[in-house]
């Protein structure tokens, strides 16, 4: 039974990878065409046409990002994603991720705070992938936290490694969903919360990144009391 499930997962991964590859070329072509129209290369564009092209360009960017994300996840699940490990400090990556998400938090009037009270040990990691994981977790917390709320990121040394937690004051997650929250396309909203637009792939990718670093990741939450996502990386 376990082998059949593994084979099914591989078939799904191969399918997503194949579809993603097939979509990239036509999407790039359409993107280029939109750009040519916006630049007036094919003739003058009136105001209404310009507004429509701006919308089309934004939606095309979103679609290209989705395809690239699917392709990344397929590679990760198939063990084909290249990682470049080297010793580096996690602190600067945390600061960078917070700065990048800062404008989104400001637009929702959220308090985005960082708490690192000690010098963190140097870790062997792929800095770009860990930065991606941090962006995903912080961005996810900001996205699901209502206006005027709070998102707090903390990091500390544990057993020679580093534990990073992202806590929000959002609607929270029911206990029965915590075990599946890191699955592909899984997006859970608490009862009464407004639906959030997204792909449900960010947490799945984050989990793959942390596991490839020999770490672990989990979520703790209670409806109405926010959520905390935590990962641990070995030194």
Query: At which of 47, 77, 107 does a domain end?
Result: 77
Over range 41-67, report the average pLDDT.
86
Query: What pLDDT is attached to residue 229?
Result: 97
Query: What pLDDT is attached to residue 20?
Result: 65
The CATH code of the domain that includes 112 is 3.30.565.10
Q: Please check whether residues 15 and 103 belong to one and the same domain.
A: no
Q: Please check whether residues 104 and 172 belong to one and the same domain.
A: yes
Query: At which of 77, 95, 118 does a domain end?
Result: 77
Residue 198: give the domain boundaries.
86-233
Query: What pLDDT is attached to residue 215?
Result: 96
The CATH code of the domain that includes 14 is 1.10.287.130
If one compares 168 and 65, the residue with the highest pLDDT of the two is: 168
Q: What is the pLDDT of residues 137-163, one digit of tens each?
A: 999 999 999 999 999 999 999 987 999
Q: Please check whether residues 90 and 10 belong to one and the same domain.
A: no
Mean pLDDT of the chain: 85
pLDDT at 80 over 90: no
Query: What pLDDT is attached to residue 25?
Result: 79
Over range 61-75, report the average pLDDT.
80
110 within 8 A of 169, measured Cβ to Cβ? no
Q: Please check whether residues 157 and 123 belong to one and the same domain.
A: yes
Query: What pLDDT is attached to residue 184?
Result: 78
pLDDT at 175 over 70: yes
Query: What pLDDT is attached to residue 81?
Result: 84
134 within 8 A of 203, measured Cβ to Cβ? no
Tell me how many domains the chain contains: 2
Over range 12-39, report the average pLDDT.
77
Q: What is the pLDDT of residues 1-15, one digit of tens each?
A: 556 655 655 666 566
**What are residue 125's phi and psi, to 5 degrees?**
-155, 165
Query: At which of 24, 56, 77 does a domain end?
Result: 77
Q: Please check whether residues 70 and 114 belong to one and the same domain.
A: no
222 within 8 A of 172, measured Cβ to Cβ? yes
pLDDT at 197 over 80: no
Q: Please check whether residues 46 and 24 belong to one and the same domain.
A: yes
Query: What pLDDT is attached to residue 183?
Result: 85
If one compares 124 and 175, the residue with the highest pLDDT of the two is: 124
Query: What pLDDT is attached to residue 10?
Result: 61
Specify which of 25-39, 77-91, 132-146, 181-195 reaches the highest per-range mean pLDDT: 132-146
Query: What pLDDT is attached to residue 130?
Result: 97
Could you please report the per-residue DSSP string of 169-207? -S----HHHHTTTTSTT-----TTPPP----S-HHHHHH
């Amino acid at each position: 039974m376990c082998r059949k499930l593994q084979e099914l997962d591989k078939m799904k991964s191969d399918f997503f990878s194949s579809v993603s590859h097939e979509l990239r070329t036509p999407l790039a072509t359409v993107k280029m065409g939109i750009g040519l129209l916006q630049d007036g290369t094919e003739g003058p564009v009136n105001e209404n046409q310009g507004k429509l092209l701006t919308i089309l360009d934004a939606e095309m960017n979103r679609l290209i990002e989705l395809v690239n994300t699917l392709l990344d996840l397929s590679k990760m699940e198939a063990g084909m994603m290249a990682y470049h490990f080297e010793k580096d400090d996690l602190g600067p990556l945390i600061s960078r991720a917070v700065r990048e998400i800062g404008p989104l938090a400001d637009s929702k009037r959220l308090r985005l705070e960082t708490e690192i009270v000690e010098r963190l040990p140097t870790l062997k990691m792929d800095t770009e992938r860990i930065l991606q994981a941090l962006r995903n977790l912080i961005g996810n917390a900001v996205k699901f936290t209502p206006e005027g709320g709070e998102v707090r990121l903390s990091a500390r040394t544990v057993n020679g490694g580093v534990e990073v937690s992202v806590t929000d004051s959002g609607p929270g997650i029911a206990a029965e969903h915590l075990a599946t929250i890191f699955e592909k396309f899984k997006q859970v909203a608490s009862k009464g919360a407004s639906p959030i637009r997204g792909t449900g792939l960010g947490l799945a990718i984050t989990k793959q990144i942390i596991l490839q670093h020999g770490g672990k990741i989990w979520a703790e939450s209670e409806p109405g009391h926010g959520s905390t996502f935590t990962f641990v990386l070995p030194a």
